[in-house]
Amino acid sequence: MISEDVLRASLGHHWGLHNARIEPHHGGMNSGTWFVTAGPRRWVAKAVDPDTLFDYAGGLAAAAVLDRPDLPTGAPERSRGGRLAVAADDVMLALLAWVPGDGIATDGPAEQRIIGTTLARAHAALHDADIPTADRFHWVDPAAGHLDVRDWVRPAVAAALTALDDLDPATLTWGPLHTDPAPEAFRLDPDTGICGLIDWSTAMRGPYLYDLASAVMYVGGSGNAGPLVEAYLAQGVLTRAETERGLLTLLRFRWAVQADYFARRIAAHDLTGIADHAENEKGLDDAHRGLAGIVSGSG
């Protein structure tokens, strides 16, 4: 990533923040992040590899479109030149609005309801948004070389893709996705009760069930996610019939996405955002268990 000196110079040149206080955040697996404070205002500076610029710029655009007082997204502050992200050495740098509160840290019923409600509200608000750079679901290649990192990975991923094809994603309700609505992306302000949704790191149009399945995965799977799903359905974005027809298939695919992601990182010896290889191995092992649970009916 970039040095603090380069970051400081970039903040001054592109955003006019010449004397800001900078603190490392270390909050992103695919990025470098820092807290930036100037007077009463606070931001998060986020640096990503330029190879991901197309996706990242689209994610920033989605955050900007969605952002509102009752659903803050950590939207980007445009640079003096009007850009959502700027070049800084060998990375692309964005300055994101600080969203008050804390990431949701438990999977209790109340927290699940907040996640489900907030995710559905984001989907509803973005439904008709025009994000020209958005990619189209999905991106997993069953022939990718990195799927050979373990004997089980390629067959499990291929089986999940077959199940997805059999479901026919085109028959589902589509719109702009968050793609990774982990609990920590939902920031709840205890003073106002407002919950934001941050970490819009890519732009993707796909089935809303993919995001819902991702949220379900993070709280322990379909057997533990009843309050989350019910809260989501209460907003009217998806019907119960569509959810019952497709959620488990999308959950299986979501675990396949995790297997693909960590297999790629392991094959590339990618330690971005983590301390050592063990974290990549854990991510892959979690995907293995998740896929096995879906197949056995316990997921």
Q: How far apart are CA 8 and CA 17, in angstroms?
A: 8
Mean pLDDT for all residues in the chain: 93
Other beta carbons within 10 Å of 176: 28
Chain centre distance of CA 231: 20
Provide the pLDDT confidence category of residue 285 given band limits of 50, 70 and 90. Answer: very high
Per domain, the residue ranges of the chain are: 4-98, 103-296
Pairing of strands 32-38, 21-24: antiparallel
pLDDT at 298 (0 to 100): 65
DSSP letter, residue 236: T
Q: Nearest to residue 85, comparing CAs of 109, 61, 102, 112?
A: 61
Chain centre distance of CA 254: 12
* Arithmetic mean of pLDDT, 47-75: 87
- In contact, 195 and 116? CB cutoff 8 Å: no
pLDDT at 67 (0 to 100): 96
Contacts (Cβ under 8 Å, ≥6 apart) of 32: 1, 2, 46, 47, 48, 91
H helices of the chain, where?
A: 4-15, 53-66, 109-126, 153-167, 208-218, 226-233, 240-268, 277-296
Domains 4-98 and 103-296 share a fold: no
pLDDT digits (tens, 9 = 90+) for 101-151: 999 998 899 999 999 999 999 999 999 888 888 888 999 999 999 999 999
- Above 90 in pLDDT, residue 272? no
Q: Nearest to residue 172, comparing CAs of 146, 138, 144?
A: 138
pLDDT at 37 (0 to 100): 97
pLDDT at 52 (0 to 100): 60
Contacts (Cβ under 8 Å, ≥6 apart) of 10: 2, 86, 88, 93
pLDDT at 150 (0 to 100): 97
pLDDT at 57 (0 to 100): 86
- Above 60 in pLDDT, residue 53? no
pLDDT digits (tens, 9 = 90+) for 245-254: 999 999 999 9
* Arithmetic mean of pLDDT, 285-294: 95
Query: In whole angstroms, how far apart are CA 33 and each of 41, 60, 258?
Result: 17, 15, 22
Provide the pLDDT confidence category of residue 274 given band limits of 50, 70 and 90. Answer: confident
Q: Mapping DSSP to helix (H, G, I), strand (E, B) and coil, where does residue 87 land?
A: strand
- Above 90 in pLDDT, residue 98? yes
Query: In whole angstroms, how far apart are CA 8 and each of 96, 119, 170?
Result: 15, 34, 46
Provide the pLDDT confidence category of residue 205 given band limits of 50, 70 and 90. Answer: very high
- Comparison of pLDDT for 268 and 53, the residue scoring more: 268
Pairing of strands 174-177, 135-136: unpaired
* Arithmetic mean of pLDDT, 218-236: 97
**Burial tier of 157 (Cβ tally within 10 Å: 0-12, 13-18, 19+):** buried
- Above 90 in pLDDT, residue 155? yes
- Above 80 in pLDDT, residue 3? yes
Q: Nearest to residue 176, comparing CAs of 116, 136, 229?
A: 136
- Above 80 in pLDDT, residue 55? no
Q: What does the angle CA 121 – CA 110 – CA 215 come to, to the nearest 5 degrees?
A: 55
Provide the pLDDT confidence category of residue 255 given band limits of 50, 70 and 90. Answer: very high
- 103-296 — its CATH code? 3.90.1200.10
Q: Residues of the chain with pLDDT > 70: what percent?
A: 97
CATH classification number, 4-98, choose in 3.10.310.40, 3.30.200.20, 3.40.50.720, 1.10.3720.10:
3.30.200.20
pLDDT at 54 (0 to 100): 58
- Comparison of pLDDT for 17 and 130, the residue scoring more: 17
- Above 70 in pLDDT, residue 29? no
pLDDT at 135 (0 to 100): 87
Provide the pLDDT confidence category of residue 232 given band limits of 50, 70 and 90. Answer: very high
